[in-house]
């Protein structure tokens, strides 16, 4: 559905994209991740024919961005980070205006508006002023605009930024539902969003793609050790020494609240030995959990140079969600 080949883009002497190539299959939801300034927005602008690349090309829904830009635009629905809505218009008035810009009219426009509002859950606020709607509903209206002409491809830039937790869940559910009929590229910096919605991840850094795979595969590939978190009722200084003496254990850290972190060699599963030592020590083993490498940690490893610091930070964050 989308095929990008060696996309390169310069802004003066600044290289925003450097030989970027990737594909997105029909019906996929693909997350586009990267730090600020990595080139995500530039890539989306090229795919929507907002701007041309300096070199390279892309095909969207079978149409070349150079040779058939109007056909590409007809096959793409785009939602920028700030929804392009007019607060002084009602939802119905705005969608009617947006539909006419897309070449719709008459019965076709009314039908398209009805379907888009129903899909995005804004049909019951059709006569309300957009300026009086919550940010979550304004986001839904922006998404309805992108869906009006029923494009096979949707490109969404930070669709849940600024929303409350309930609104975020609603938009994520909506995006997953839309994937039944549309191919979706989702640009975001929220790792939980990628894991909840996207089938594959494209990580871009300094204009180059550094990884393309599923979140699960990336976590497996980037793992350098096994991690275990245990919680005990009666912390004991002797426990740390006994755990460190286990074959394959690389590091042990104990907290005052009874949590103990154990890091072991990647090829050694030390869970059984750790449990045995904890039980024999009489510390009251309450919990034993394997801590997976988080997508955040993978992202930090691939996009920063200060790897050691960031790995520790990501491990701390993973513990909090274990």
pLDDT digits (tens, 9 = 90+) for 156-203: 998 887 788 888 888 888 888 888 889 999 998 778 888 888 999 999
Mean pLDDT of the chain: 88
- Here the CATH number for the domain that contains residue 224 is 3.30.70.100
Both 127 and 159 in a single domain?
yes
Count the helices and strands in the chain (H runs, E runs).
12, 14
- Here the CATH number for the domain that contains residue 117 is 3.40.50.300
Q: What's the CA gap between 124 and 44, in Å, rounded? A: 32
319 pLDDT above the threshold of 50: no
Output the pLDDT for position 320: 43
- pTM for this entry: 0.74
Both 199 and 294 in a single domain?
no
Output the pLDDT for position 314: 36
Strand partners, 64: 59
Output the pLDDT for position 301: 81
Average pLDDT estimate for 265-275: 89
The confidence band for 32, taking pLDDT boundaries of 50, 70 and 90, is very high
Q: Under a CB-based contact definition with an 8 Å cutoff, are residues 156 and 193 in contact? A: no
Q: Which domain holds residue 265?
A: 220-321
Both 144 and 60 in a single domain?
yes
Both 105 and 167 in a single domain?
yes
Mark which of 188, 218, 248 sits at the end of a domain: 218
Mark which of 198, 218, 238 sits at the end of a domain: 218
69 pLDDT above the threshold of 60: yes
Strand-pair category, 200-205 with 249-254: unpaired
Structure tokens at 289: 């959990």
Average pLDDT estimate for 32-50: 90
Per-residue pLDDT tens for 214-223? 888 887 777 6
317 pLDDT above the threshold of 90: no
**Of 143 and 304, the one with more pLDDT:** 143
Output the pLDDT for position 179: 86
Per-residue pLDDT tens for 289-303? 988 777 887 888 888
Q: Per the structure, how many domains does the chain have?
A: 2
Average pLDDT estimate for 257-278: 91
Q: What's the CA gap between 74 and 61, in Å, rounded? A: 10
Output the pLDDT for position 218: 82
Per-residue pLDDT tens for 110-151? 999 999 999 888 999 999 999 999 988 998 999 999 999 999
Both 121 and 174 in a single domain?
yes
68 pLDDT above the threshold of 90: yes
Mark which of 184, 203, 218 sits at the end of a domain: 218
Q: Under a CB-based contact definition with an 8 Å cutoff, are residues 91 and 43 in contact? A: no
**Of 241 and 321, the one with more pLDDT:** 241
Both 150 and 264 in a single domain?
no
Q: Under a CB-based contact definition with an 8 Å cutoff, are residues 91 and 117 in contact? A: yes
Closest by CA position to 113, among listed 86, 145, 143: 145
């Amino acid at each position: 559905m989308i095929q990008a080949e060696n996309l390169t883009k310069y802004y003066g002497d600044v290289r925003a994209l450097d030989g970027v190539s990737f594909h997105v299959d029909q019906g996929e939801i693909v997350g586009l991740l990267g730090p600020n300034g990595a080139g995500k927005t530039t890539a989306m602008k090229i795919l929507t024919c907002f701007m041309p690349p300096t070199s390279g090309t892309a095909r969207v829904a079978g149409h070349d961005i150079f040779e058939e830009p109007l056909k590409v635009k007809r096959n793409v629905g785009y939602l920028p980070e700030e929804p392009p809505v007019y607060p002084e218009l009602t939802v119905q008035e705005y969608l009617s205006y947006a539909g006419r810009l897309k070449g719709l009219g008459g019965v076709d426009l009314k039908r398209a508006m009805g379907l888009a509002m129903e899909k995005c859950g804004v049909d019951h606020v059709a006569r309300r002023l957009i300026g009086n709607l919550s940010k979550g509903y304004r986001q839904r209206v922006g998404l309805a605009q992108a869906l009006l002409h029923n494009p096979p491809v949707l490109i969404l830039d930070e669709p849940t930024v600024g929303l409350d937790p309930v609104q975020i869940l609603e938009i994520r559910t909506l995006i997953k539902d839309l994937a039944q009929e549309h191919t979706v590229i989702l640009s975001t910096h929220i790792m939980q969003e990628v894991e909840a919605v996207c089938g594959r991840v494209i990580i871009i850094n300094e204009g180059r793609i550094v990884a393309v795979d599923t979140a699960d595969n990336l976590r497996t590939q980037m793992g350098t050790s096994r991690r275990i978190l245990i919680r005990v009722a009666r912390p004991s200084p002797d426990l740390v020494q006994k755990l460190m003496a286990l074959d394959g254990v690389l590091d042990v850290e104990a907290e005052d609240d009874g949590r103990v972190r154990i890091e072991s060699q990647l090829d050694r599963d030390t869970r059984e030995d750790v449990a045995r030592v904890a039980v024999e020590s009489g510390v009251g083993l309450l919990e034993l959990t394997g801590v997976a490498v988080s997508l955040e940690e993978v992202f930090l490893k691939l996009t920063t140079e200060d790897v050691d610091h960031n790995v520790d930070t990501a491990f701390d964050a993973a513990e909090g969600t274990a």
